[in-house]
């Protein structure tokens, strides 16, 4: 008998003792050939590796050191659109607190977690959830999640923030504030890399008042048939930047030069993605890379993704005039952030419908 998945949390499915995953979680045949054992994949030394960028000199007084750091960041953003960042200025102890708080929330009983359940039907997207089948082939992902806006403070809805563990609110708030500062420094360096004034990209994505930081804690339970499933299907991030903290269990893969490359687990690092928003503003000079998440049989994987997003309606996203020329015409039509998201969903639905 195949388990039914309507309204089911993946964690409940995983802990029910099933040996075969429900068909809704099995990926299409053309994808299955590329899904391997994530632990074996992580050990591979040959082939391309996601770059590691040391941010220690990002705002150094020493001009030569600062420019070298900016150049490395620019190269990684241009060639890959994703990187491990180290010496990022976020205290390691704070990162550990965020990990402990998020894991603590998911370690609670299902009954406790369901008190925070989101409700897409009524527009309440913040809270505890699992992906609902919203595409043509009814495909599901092997993950549960907790999603909420964490910055700016005046836009947060504290009623949805977990009360347990007791450190959740203070650790997550402090972490969001640190990330917001880091985002400014990264955006400054990326602006200079395009020959713009350093405050330009930040201004274009909403500045201190309007740039939103949305946190999604992804919880990937152990999977009895990891070779058939994905934790997160292949996608690019719509954000300006995305910062990812994880519990040192591998899972992230990047589609680079026609092949899936597994990101190694780099201690004390964050993974940083360039999102579609920056790709559009830079007219494709900085890349938003296709990526996905694999699952495994042995270990629960948790990742904390923070998406730095422009406001949905207030800003028109289009290639900046300085990035466009006769030789390099604009690659993207003008759209609001909301229109960009809608366009991606519409295109995906069309592609699935055509299969």
Active-site amino acid positions? 216, 235, 237, 291
What DSSP string describes 316-333?
A: EE---GGG--SSS--SS-
Residue entry with tokens 């005046």? 154
Residue 230 DSSP SS3: coil
Residues 6+ apart with CB under 8 A from 190: 73, 74, 77, 201, 278, 282, 286
Residue 166: CB atoms within 10 Å: 11
Contact (Cβ atoms closer than 8 angstroms) between residue 319 and residue 330: yes
The number of angstroms, rounded, from the C-alpha of 96 to the middle of its chain's C-alpha atoms is 19
Closest CA to 223 of 101, 116, 140, 306: 140
Burial 254-287 (b: 16+ CB within 10 A, else e): bebeeebbbbbbeeebbbbbbbbbbbbbbbbbbb
Pairing label, strands 291-293, 270-274: unpaired
* β-pair partners for 260: 255
Residue 146 DSSP SS3: strand
- How far apart are the C-alpha atoms of 89 and 39, rounded to whole Å? 29
Please name the residue ranges forming H helices in the chain: 10-14, 29-32, 38-43, 63-79, 92-106, 110-114, 168-193, 200-204, 207-210, 276-281, 337-354
- How far apart are the C-alpha atoms of 35 and 38, rounded to whole Å? 8
Structure tokens that stand for 235 in this block: 């996608």
């Amino acid at each position: 008998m195949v388990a039914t998945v309507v309204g089911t949390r993946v964690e409940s499915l995983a802990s029910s003792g099933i040996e075969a995953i429900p068909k809704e979680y099995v990926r299409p045949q053309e994808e299955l050939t590329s899904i391997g054992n994530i632990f074996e994949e992580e050990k591979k030394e040959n082939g391309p590796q996601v770059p590691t960028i040391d941010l220690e000199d990002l705002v150094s007084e020493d001009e030569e050191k600062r420019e070298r750091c900016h150049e490395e960041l620019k190269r990684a953003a241009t060639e890959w659109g994703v990187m491990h960042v180290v010496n990022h200025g976020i205290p390691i102890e704070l990162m550990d607190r965020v990990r402990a708080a998020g894991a603590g929330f998911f370690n609670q009983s299902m009954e406790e977690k369901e008190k925070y359940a989101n409700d897409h039907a009524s527009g309440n997207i913040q809270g505890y959830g699992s992906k609902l089948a919203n595409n043509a082939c009814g495909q599901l992902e092997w993950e549960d999640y907790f999603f909420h806006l964490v910055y700016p403070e005046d836009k947060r809805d504290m009623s949805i923030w977990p009360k347990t563990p007791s450190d959740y609110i203070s650790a997550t708030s402090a972490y969001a504030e640190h990330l917001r500062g880091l985002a400014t420094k990264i955006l400054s360096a990326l602006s200079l890399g395009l020959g713009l004034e350093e405050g330009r990209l930040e201004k274009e994505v909403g500045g201190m008042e309007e740039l939103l930081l949305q946190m999604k804690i992804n919880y990937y339970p152990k999977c009895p048939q990891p070779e058939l499933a994905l934790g997160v299907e292949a996608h690019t991030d719509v954000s300006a930047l995305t910062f990812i903290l994880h519990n040192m269990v591998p899972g992230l893969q990047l589609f680079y030069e026609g092949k899936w490359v597994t990101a190694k687990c780099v201690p004390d690092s964050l993974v940083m993605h360039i999102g579609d928003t920056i790709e559009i503003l830079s007219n494709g000079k900085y890349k938003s890379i296709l990526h996905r998440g694999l699952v495994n049989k042995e270990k629960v994987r948790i990742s904390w993704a923070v998406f730095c997003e422009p406001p949905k309606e207030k800003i028109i996203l289009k290639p900046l005039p300085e990035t466009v020329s006769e030789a390099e015409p604009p690659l993207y039509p003008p759209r609001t952030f909301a229109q960009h998201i809608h366009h991606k969903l519409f295109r995906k639905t069309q592609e699935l419908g055509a299969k």
